[in-house]
């Protein structure tokens, strides 16, 4: 069973922010911003590649609710999902990073020069 399924099953503790029948949101154990929440579906889905539009429709509302709960909806925030090896995905259970609480950096994300690919 994957680590996020263990969190859903209460086999691993987590600091929960929001929960409903379909989704769970909890604090990232290694935060990259003052506010760093992970939102996951309770049903195991490996990545964004495999998620249905129906689940994403509900996930959109859930992420918006997290932003309200954390009081970052007006100050601004970032939503990221890493997919596969080049995307830097380490946990193979779909998750959305919700980052905020400070002005976030936006910089080169790889050692390659993007202009080499134009």
Under 8 Å between Cβ of 55 and 38: no
Binding test (CB under 6 A) with ligand AMP, winner from 10, 30, 107, 113: 30
Tokens 């309770």 locate to 42
- Range in contact with ligand AMP (rule: CB under 6 A) among 17-25, 55-63, 83-91, 99-107: 83-91
Binding test (CB under 6 A) with ligand AMP, winner from 48, 82, 101, 104: 82
Q: Is 3 in the site for ligand AMP (CB under 6 A)?
A: yes
Asked about 95 being catalytic, the answer comes back as yes
Taking 3-state DSSP, the helix, strand and coil percentages for the chain, each rounded to the nearest 5, stand at 30, 20, 50
Closest listed residue to residue 96, CA positions, set 44, 36, 50: 36
Q: Is 14 in the site for ligand AMP (CB under 6 A)?
A: yes
CA distance 66 to 12: 21
- Range in contact with ligand AMP (rule: CB under 6 A) among 23-31, 49-57, 65-73, 109-117: 23-31
CA distance 22 to 24: 7
**Of the listed 36, 93, 95, 97, which one is catalytic?**
95
- Range in contact with ligand AMP (rule: CB under 6 A) among 39-47, 68-76, 87-95, 109-117: 87-95
Q: Name residues whose C-beta falls within 8 Å of residue 80's C-beta, 6 or more positions apart in sequence.
A: 96, 97, 99
Could you list the residues that contact ligand AMP (CB under 6 A)?
A: 3, 12, 14, 28-30, 38, 82, 88-91
- Which residues are part of the catalytic machinery? 95
């Amino acid at each position: 069973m994957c680590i996020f399924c263990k969190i859903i099953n209460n086999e691993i503790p987590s600091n929960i922010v929001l929960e409903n029948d379909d989704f769970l949101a909890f604090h990232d154990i290694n935060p990259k911003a003052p506010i760093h929440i992970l939102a996951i579906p309770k049903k195991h889905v490996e990545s964004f590649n495999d998620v249905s539009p129906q689940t994403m429709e509900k996930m959109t509302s859930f992420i918006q609710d997290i932003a309200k709960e954390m009081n970052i909806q007006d100050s601004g925030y970032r939503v990221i999902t890493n997919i596969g090896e080049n995307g830097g995905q380490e946990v193979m259970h779909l998750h959305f990073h919700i980052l905020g609480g400070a002005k976030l950096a936006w910089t080169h994300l790889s050692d390659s020069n993007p202009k080499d690919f134009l």
